Amino acid sequence: MKRFKYISITAVLLVLFAGLVYAGNKSPMFSRHQPGGMFAVVDNTQTTGNVWFVDSGSATGADAAGYGENPDAPFLTIDYATGNCTASNGDWIIVMPGHAESVSSAAYIDADKAGVRIIGLGTGRNKPVLSWTAAAGEIKVNAADVSFENLVFNMELTGGVFGGTTLYSTATDTVFKDCDFVIPSVDTVMVLTGGTRTQINNCRFYGSTGSGTGVTTAVIAIGSGVYNVEIKDTSIIAYNTTQDTALIAAASSRVSGFTLQDSSIIQGNSGASCWNFSTIGLVSEGLIKNVATTVGNAGTGGTSSYQLHTVLRLPPYNANE
């Protein structure tokens, strides 16, 4: 029976191939067999790299050699999958719906392979969830061109106090796309300390506008000399306990090319601001467009965009435009 099964599959593939040749079309699909893995057909307009699978709920998976190439025998953690990627090869890490990990130590996930896409599957809270369970919990991005997509970063630590930053990027061209961030009482949610061209697109930062909880420095902190940060289609809701700091804040060295567009920011502390670049001449060649802001628990307070210098700022968002 197995022989006839294989003959049938081969016959189907030959028919499909003959149809493409006869029609004179070229297909973007290609076939590949990763060592130790399953036969796969991949669209080479998307990637020609290796595809790895991660699923913490799999009873047949393991962080070991011979796993990861097959969704029925996946890796169990994202960091182990990252270690198996080849830098600048276009590798993907597919994280399965319902996947869950506890971020419990420094550099728990160390994204140190360039060009890797970490792609979560699922919707709502069926997306892969990374939950902080210890004060030292941290994710680091140390390689260029790394993308985090459709993941939940739950930083609401229970029964403890954060020791420092939680998501720390020193690399160029880092992308956060379609991700959710649950904001606790932490020093900072995301720190960008090096590199250029970080993109934060279609992300949501969920916090509380109540005075009892909130960040103490910023939700997104842009370090010295970090250029061309782009924040688009993103919402931030939080309470900053420090009145002279903002939810998006820059360091004391020049930053250029900052973009904040088509986004909304709710700052619960009426004495603080939504964004703040406090040094004269700190920001240049920037753009702030279509940004709706609210300050104060009562839902009032204006745009609170003070101390933003040498930035091209277009008129506030108008829903009737």
Per residue in 81-122, pLDDT (tens digit) is: 999 999 999 999 999 999 999 998 888 999 999 999 999 999
Higher pLDDT residue, 45 or 15?
45
User: DSSP of 213-241, one letter per residue?
Assistant: S-BSSEEEEE-TT-B--EEES-EEEE-BS
3-state secondary structure of 166: coil
All structural domains of the chain with their residue ranges: 28-155, 183-321
Band the pLDDT of 254: cuts 50, 70, 90. Answer: low
On the question of pLDDT at 174 being above 90, the answer is yes
On the question of pLDDT at 55 being above 90, the answer is yes
Mean pLDDT (the chain, rounded): 77
Band the pLDDT of 41: cuts 50, 70, 90. Answer: low
On the question of pLDDT at 216 being above 80, the answer is no
On the question of pLDDT at 56 being above 60, the answer is yes
pLDDT of the residue at 280: 41
On the question of pLDDT at 150 being above 90, the answer is yes
Band the pLDDT of 39: cuts 50, 70, 90. Answer: low
Higher pLDDT residue, 128 or 238?
128
Neighbour-count burial for 275-312, b at 16+ CB within 10 Å, e otherwise: bbbbeeebbeebebbbbebbbbbeeebebbbeebeebe
Report the distance separating Cα 99 and Cα 126, nearest Å. Answer: 8
Band the pLDDT of 38: cuts 50, 70, 90. Answer: low
Q: What is the CA radius of gyration of the chain?
A: 23
pLDDT of the residue at 297: 52
pLDDT of the residue at 1: 47
Among the residue ranges 143-152, 218-227, 255-264, 299-308, the one predicted with the least confidence is 299-308
Roughly how many angstroms between the first and final C-alpha of the chain, as a whole number? 66
